[in-house]
Structure 1
């Protein structure tokens, strides 16, 4: 039985993916401050030279993680839109989609990177264009779910993302009583706000 040998390009891509996975796991478990080049090297089980070949600096490694996190968040958020002629999802389903995504690990890692980027100019430069990409994609995905033709959809989607992000962040250190009631109340409110004028 012959073994299929991977090309150099395939091996390189696999090593890069392993390094990004190790950095992602470290950010999730230990935070930005503890996610050093040495920590990622040890988690990935590669030689230091191998890591430096793919990511010469910590900044370049974190930039790679930013791109990876964008892809992870989009996998959670990008729900197939309604088929032509079918009814749009309810506003309550749209609220659930956003709320569920905010409580997934990719958002926690993104939060680590956003906070670090406030004082790290290189990370901020890497994060800015990707942030615009994810915001744009989130808006399009969620707006499509709610119904592209609704005149208030962009505004209500923005309200939903901002309100739920704030509610989630307020409970990061300790879960707050009443947060689920806020989410349920917003479902009712957004349905009312979305009602078309006669």
Structure 2
């Protein structure tokens, strides 16, 4: 195993500054929206000069892309831990659905939906955020597939189940903006879990017949 690289004091300070700027960027988008999250506001929140921030992130698009990348990389790390817990039978597929809902009903989703909406008509922003978004979904596909390692579910069906789950979560996440009703969302999730288990039970029946 390679020894961790030791940073100089200057490199460590620079890394901490970058982290503060990225955190301030995400907080600003979450609280103010992408359009109102100015570089001046972000620099103020991070406690750095605008010039120092521009040294690390020369344009707002580069800054947003880097902030989103850091957000999604942290999310991928968490997801891998969840998938590992499932593989060791510490969690069920229901737990994973609930975990996804916690992400689609909170800060992560509200930040991503805001910059994605802006990216629809902002080519520079789109070029900055789409690659990291695609990488996140690729990693999510890989992690989801781990839940079916011991089943004979076809890869196509695995993808259908994942994307149906994600579409449901996105729709529910958007609806939370206009409807604050925890019982309502609990009911939708419960219904989807029932359907999901029914489909998985079909696979289990097929496995028994083939045995």
TM-score, normalised via structure 1 length: 0.86
- Cα distance change, pair 75–108 in 1 and its aligned pair in 2 (3 A): farther
Contact 1:77 1:97 in 2 (8 A): no
1:156 counterpart residue number: 161
Q: Is the aligned partner of 1:36 residue 2:38?
A: yes
Q: CA deviation at 1:72?
A: 3.1
Q: CA deviation at 1:171?
A: 2.3
Kindly report which structure 2 residues correspond to 1:36-185, keeping only aligned pairs within 5 A, or say none. 36-78=38-80, 79-81=82-84, 89-144=91-146, 146-150=147-151, 151=153, 152-176=157-181, 178-185=184-191
Write out per-residue CA displacement over residues 131-166 of structure 1, whole angstroms, 9 at most, x where no aligned residue: 11111111222231x222431333212211111221
More helix by share: 2
Q: CA deviation at 1:46?
A: 1.0
- Cα distance change, pair 88–42 in 1 and its aligned pair in 2 (3 A): closer
TM-score, normalised via structure 2 length: 0.82
Q: CA deviation at 1:82?
A: 5.4
Write out per-residue CA displacement over residues 87-133 of structure 1, whole angstroms, 9 at most, x where no aligned residue: 59533223212212212312221111111111111110111111111
Q: CA deviation at 1:6?
A: 5.3
- Cα distance change, pair 94–153 in 1 and its aligned pair in 2 (3 A): farther
2:195 counterpart residue number: 189
Q: Is the deviation greater in 38-47 or in 68-77? A: 68-77
- Cα distance change, pair 83–20 in 1 and its aligned pair in 2 (3 A): closer
Contact 2:28 2:42 in 1 (8 A): yes
Structure 2 residue runs of 5 or longer lacking an equivalent are 1-6
